[in-house]
Amino acid sequence: MRKEPRQARSREMVERIVAAGRQVLVERGYDAFSTNQVATTAGISPGSLYQYFPDKASILEIVVDRYWDEVAESVAASLADHLGEVGPQMVRQVADALISALEADRTLLGVVAEQLPLARSRERRRALERRVRELVGAYLVVRPDASTRPDPGVAAWMIVLAIENLAMRWVLDRPPIDRDVVIEEMTALVAGYLGGV
């Protein structure tokens, strides 16, 4: 961002621009995303947009960051709420929370995952994975009865990447598999990996 908004009116303008950026990204995709389209959608002049954002990349960065933050918050909150549960129930709740978070804006997920250059969202996605992996790792450390795997950190990495990729592909591809079935299969996969917990 070019300058940090200090006044309420300036903060509102930045929020309007970011909301318009998200809307343009969802409606038109990455290839048609431009500062002119964002300014038009926000109902402002390009000059007003440039007071806060030097280019489209800076708008994209905030839109993508906020998207992954929304997903991370949802999943981390669910995981934290269910840390006291044993095995399959906890896995089921986390898988459900992840799918729900990804489904909340399926179109934006598609743009972020399949249209943006990998470098644009890689770090934010990795931050999400790290955050969830730390929570899963902590769960496995404090609940040694939940797993027969020798290294909680390695097990957490395997689980998070498997669940994340399965959830993302299910949301994006919409195969003819019922949502509840997908969650049950993810739960079985993780339970089997952890040693039938």
Helices 87-103 and 118-142 sit at what angle, rounded to 10 degrees?
160
pLDDT class of 1 with cuts at 50, 70, 90: low
pLDDT class of 28 with cuts at 50, 70, 90: very high
Task: Read off the pLDDT of each residue in 30-50 and give the average, rounded to a whole number.
Answer: 94
- pLDDT per residue as tens digits for the range 111-159: 988 888 877 678 778 888 888 888 888 888 888 888 889 999 999 999 9
pLDDT for residue 138:
84
In which element (H, E) is residue 31 found? none
Whether 16 has a pLDDT exceeding 90, the answer reads yes
Question: Where in the chain are the domains?
Answer: 8-54, 64-194
- pLDDT per residue as tens digits for the range 63-116: 998 998 888 888 888 777 776 666 688 788 888 988 999 999 999 999 988 888
Q: How far apart are CA 197 and CA 192, in angstroms?
A: 7
Whether 180 has a pLDDT exceeding 80, the answer reads yes
User: CATH classification of 64-194 is 3.30.70.360, yes or no?
Assistant: no
Structure tokens belonging to residue 24: 């343009």
Which of 26, 27, 28, 46 lies closest to 36, judged by CA? 46
Q: How far apart are CA 117 and CA 33, in angstroms?
A: 13
Question: Which superfamily does CATH assign the domain made up of 8-54 to?
Answer: Homeodomain-like (1.10.10.60)
| The model's pTM | 0.82
Q: How far apart are CA 25 and CA 120, in angstroms?
A: 13
For residue 48, count CB atoms less than 10 angstroms from its CB and return exposed for 0-12, middle for 13-18, buried for 19 or more: middle
